[in-house]
Structures are given as structure tokens and as C-alpha cells.
């Protein structure tokens, strides 16, 4: 028999709250149906893939299934309904995710791996109940009522319904739900700002390398690696990349170790990370001669030359001062590019390689061998690089750095707001923090 270590499954509660079993707070509940491919009535069916980690449902890919007319007439989801993932999960994700129905879906239903809970509005605020159930899954407490079978996690539905949940009086429930909604709204707004700024960067990455800055008005067309074309300012150079490099070489084949003996080695995970750092890097023991030859300096560019994932080929990163001031080397899966600073800035090259124009060229020259995708030094040297004078390169780098700084700030803002929401969930749902009447208005 399932027992509780505290007053409720998520913790102790104030003396003026009550513990209530989930089933006592429901007006109705029902399981879903996957239907068939051949019945006459098309119906939209929500399934596990429509759940997210935030409680919001993703409606971008809703399945269409077919049912008899009679069966279809019984369907319908109402505002305030809660969807529970009864089966699913993954190695690092417990089953039991929650989906909030925020608007009526008269003709919709759910798949057979999903349960619909219809809270009794007289007894409980639906949003409050949803957040309590959400917290069970988010914290992993839900694992106490899940079972594992054939690589799928399943809720023990009988025990799930018996879980004792915190139950403050209805007005306080609504205040708690309103506070959590304010947190959610703030997160959604910050995410929208972040996506808008990322879209601005994507647009700029196309414009500045294929059209130049606004101050450049005289343009001429030229061909970029076979079928790729662009128009660039007439005073920009279009010589192959190799003309502006003073060094291009492969990294070490020495095996890495996890006991930090030798030199830190930059490898593929550090290149594809948002920013190059020495956090969790492997180490390798190499001779002093090889270590000296492969030592990275600030403004070197590291490019992935071979990988099973074609999307990785040609991805690059710029060596930061943190890495450049420590004796750091790089792995053989990478190529180091060092530019002639009088003609080409490493930061400009790194941004170019990440641009649509740079990515198209990397994809065009990559070849496949033994299941790996590869790009070699000879092909990289032939990249057609739109190269403005260094002062304009600096302007472009400053522009893109500014956008990147804004993106980083917004990423931090989203993470901070998510941490605030996490704290609110932990404290509001167990009464450690109480919201006075009227505190969430406006």
C-alpha cells in the first residue's frame, strides 16, 4: 500500500490546509482511443508527442485518426481539463507529464496512452490542481507510482488517484494559480524576445555576407562554389579562403583521459557548444614538440572536419582568451585555421562559416567515407570568402557580437525566470509562501 512520508505526496502543508486524494477532486475522468485508419469520421487526437516539459501543449503536429460517427460524437475536451501521460517517459524522463487544456476543443480527443481529468470546479481550481500534478512529475516524485515494462513507463493508475494532494481553501488556490500564471507569462514573453533576437541574427547572417552592410552600395554578382551565387560590394575581395590563411592543420590523435593528465584538448563537443570554454574538456598526453605545435592562441578558428552527423561538418568556434591564455591543444577531428590578421579577422571567418553561405559551401564539398562525413584542408582553402577590408570586417563582427550578447542576456533571463517558477512551485504548493488576498491582481 502506498504511504506518504509527509502530510501530502509533495510535502507537509500548513495547519489550515487539508490533504485530499486526487480522485475526490474530479468530476470526471476518461482514457483515450487511438481509433483506426479506415472509419468515416476524422478526429484530431492529442498524444504523448504533444506534451512539453512546461505544461503547455504543442499543437504543431496533432494526429488525425478515424472513428465511427457515433463514437466521434462522444468526444470533446473542455477548458480546464487536464491531460495526464499514463504511458511513455524515457530513460531520464518520468512518465506523468501534464497538459493544460486552455480552450474548448469540441471535436478533439486523446490517444489511449493519455488520461483526461476533469476537475470538479466546486472543489478545486483546475489550474491549481494541474500545477500540483505537474510538480509531481517535474520533481520525479511520480516515480513512486510508476511501473516499468518493455522499456515503457506506466502509471499505476489506482495509486495515482489515491495520492494525497495539498488542498487550501478555493480563494487561495486561485491566488496560487494566478501567481504561477504570471511566472509562465513572463517566461513566454522572454522566450518570444529571445526567438525574435535569434531571428534577427539569422537574417543578419545572410545579409552581411551576401549583400554587405548598408554603407556598401556598389555591388557585383559572383558565383559561390558552383551553383551558389551572391551579390557583394564591388570593393570586397573574393579570393579563395586559403589566400588569407597562415596556418591550416589537423589536431592530435593521442587518446584522451579522464584523470586530467597532460594538456586540455578541445574536441567536437566543445565546438558545437554555444561558447567555447574549458569546462569538462578531456586531456591528452603528447610530446612537448607536438604540444607546442598544436597550442591554440586567441582568435584561432576550429572547424569540425569529420563526423557521422552531416550537420556537424564545417561547424566552427573561435578560440577565446580563456582558452588562448592556457596551453590548450585540439583533437584530430578538428582543423585549426589561423588567419593573416592584416587581411582576415578570425572572428569574421568564424561568423562566415556559421552563415548560410558558409554552411552551403561546407555541405557542397563534404564527402562520405565509411559512414563518416568529411571535409579536408584542400577543400576548405577553396572556399569563396566574401572579404571586405578589415575595418568593415570589424564593423560586421561588432554588429554580430552585439546581437550575440543580447541573445546571451535573454537566455540568462529565461533561465532566471524558470528558476523563479521552480521556486514558486516548491513553495506556493506546500504553503511555505502564502499569497495575501489581492497580491496577484494586476
Beta-carbon contacts of 174 under 8 Å, excluding residues fewer than 6 positions away, are: 125, 128
H helices of 284-366, in order, are 288-293, 321-324, 346-354, 356-365
**Could you tell me the end-to-end alpha-carbon distance of the chain, in angstroms, rounded to an integer?**
45
Tens-digit pLDDT profile for residues 51-80: 999 999 999 999 999 999 999 999 999 999
pLDDT in the model for residue 238: 84
Residue 63: per-residue pLDDT: 94
Per-residue pLDDT tens digits for 18-46: 999 999 999 999 999 999 888 889 999 99
Strand, coil or helix: what is 59?
A: coil
Of the candidates 302, 252, 257, the residue with the CA atom closest to the CA atom of residue 281: 257
291 within 8 A of 329, measured Cβ to Cβ: yes
> Per mean pLDDT, which range of 233-247, 285-299, 331-345 is the poorest?
233-247
Query: Could you give the CA distance from residue 433 to residue 386 in angstroms, rounded to a whole number?
Result: 58
Angle at which helix 170-210 crosses helix 390-428, to 10 degrees, equals 170
All three cell numbers of 359, joined, read 554552411
Q: What is the pTM of this model?
A: 0.85
Q: How confident is the model at residue 363 (pLDDT cuts 50, 70, 90)?
A: confident
Closest CA to 334 of 248, 413, 416, 402: 248
- The structural domains of the chain, ordered by start, are 18-166 (3.90.220.20), 168-189+391-442 (no CATH), 217-387 (3.90.220.20)
Higher pLDDT, 26 or 90: 26
The dihedral through the CA atoms of 125, 128, 133, 136 has a sign that is: negative
Question: Around 234, how many Cα atoms within 13 Å sit in the side-chain half-sphere?
Answer: 4
Query: What per-residue confidence (pLDDT) applies to 228?
Result: 54
DSSP single-letter state for residue 412: H
Q: Tell me what the mean pLDDT of segment 77-96 comes to.
A: 92
Q: At what angle do helices 170-210 and 356-365 cross, to 10 degrees?
A: 70
Q: 194-229 pLDDT, tens per residue?
A: 999 999 999 999 888 877 776 444 555 665 544 456
Which grid cell is 352? Answer: 562566415
Compute the distance between CA of residue 370 and CA of residue 386 in angstroms, rounded to an integer.
Answer: 33
Amino acid at each position: 500500500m502506498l504511504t506518504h512520508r509527509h502530510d501530502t505526496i509533495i510535502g507537509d502543508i500548513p495547519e489550515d490546509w487539508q490533504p485530499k486524494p486526487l480522485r475526490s477532486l474530479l468530476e470526471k475522468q476518461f482514457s483515450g482511443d487511438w481509433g483506426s485508419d479506415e472509419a468515416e469520421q476524422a478526429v484530431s487526437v492529442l498524444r504523448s508527442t504533444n506534451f512539453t516539459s512546461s505544461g503547455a501543449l504543442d499543437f504543431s503536429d496533432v494526429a488525425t485518426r478515424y472513428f465511427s460517427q457515433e463514437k466521434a460524437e462522444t468526444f470533446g475536451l473542455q477548458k480546464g481539463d487536464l491531460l495526464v501521460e499514463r504511458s511513455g517517459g524515457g530513460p531520464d524522463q518520468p512518465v506523468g507529464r501534464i497538459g493544460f487544456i486552455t480552450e474548448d476543443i469540441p471535436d478533439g480527443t486523446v490517444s489511449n496512452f493519455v488520461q483526461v481529468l476533469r476537475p470538479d470546479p466546486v472543489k478545486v481550481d483546475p489550474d491549481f490542481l494541474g500545477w500540483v500534478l505537474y510538480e509531481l512529475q517535474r520533481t520525479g516524485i511520480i516515480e513512486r507510482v510508476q511501473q516499468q515494462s518493455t522499456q515503457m513507463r506506466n502509471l499505476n493508475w489506482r495509486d495515482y488517484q489515491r495520492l494525497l494532494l495539498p488542498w487550501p481553501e478555493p480563494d487561495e488556490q486561485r491566488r496560487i494559480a494566478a501567481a504561477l500564471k504570471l511566472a509562465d507569462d513572463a517566461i513566454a514573453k522572454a522566450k518570444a524576445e529571445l526567438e525574435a533576437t535569434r531571428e534577427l541574427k539569422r537574417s543578419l547572417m545572410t545579409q552581411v555576407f551576401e549583400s554587405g552592410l548598408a554603407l556598401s552600395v556598389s555591388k557585383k554578382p559572383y558565383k559561390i562554389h558552383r551553383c551558389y551565387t551572391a551579390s557583394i560590394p564591388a570593393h570586397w575581395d573574393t579570393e579563395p579562403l586559403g589566400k588569407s590563411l597562415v596556418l591550416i592543420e589537423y589536431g592530435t590523435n593521442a587518446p584522451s583521459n579522464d584523470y586530467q593528465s597532460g594538456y586540455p584538448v578541445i574536441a567536437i563537443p566543445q565546438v558545437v557548444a554555444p561558447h567555447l570554454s574549458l569546462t569538462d574538456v578531456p586531456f591528452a598526453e603528447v610530446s612537448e614538440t607536438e604540444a607546442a605545435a598544436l597550442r591554440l592562441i586567441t582568435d584561432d578558428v576550429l572547424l569540425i572536419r569529420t563526423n557521422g552527423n552531416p550537420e556537424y561538418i564545417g561547424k566552427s568556434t573561435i578560440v577565446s582568451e580563456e582558452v588562448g591564455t592556457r596551453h590548450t591543444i585540439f583533437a584530430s577531428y578538428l582543423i585549426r585555421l589561423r588567419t593573416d590578421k592584416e587581411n582576415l579577422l578570425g572572428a569574421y571567418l568564424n561568423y562566415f562559416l556559421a552563415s548560410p553561405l558558409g554552411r552551403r559551401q561546407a555541405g557542397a564539398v563534404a564527402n562520405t567515407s565509411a559512414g563518416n562525413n568529411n571535409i579536408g584542408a584542400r577543400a576548405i582553402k577553396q572556399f569563396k570568402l566574401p572579404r571586405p577590408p578589415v575595418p568593415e570586417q570589424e564593423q560586421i563582427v561588432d554588429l554580430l557580437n552585439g546581437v550575440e550578447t543580447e541573445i546571451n542576456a535573454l537566455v540568462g533571463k529565461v533561465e532566471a525566470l524558470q528558476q523563479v517558477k521552480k521556486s514558486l512551485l516548491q513553495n506556493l504548493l506546500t504553503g511555505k509562501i502564502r499569497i495575501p488576498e489581492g497580491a496577484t491582481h494586476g
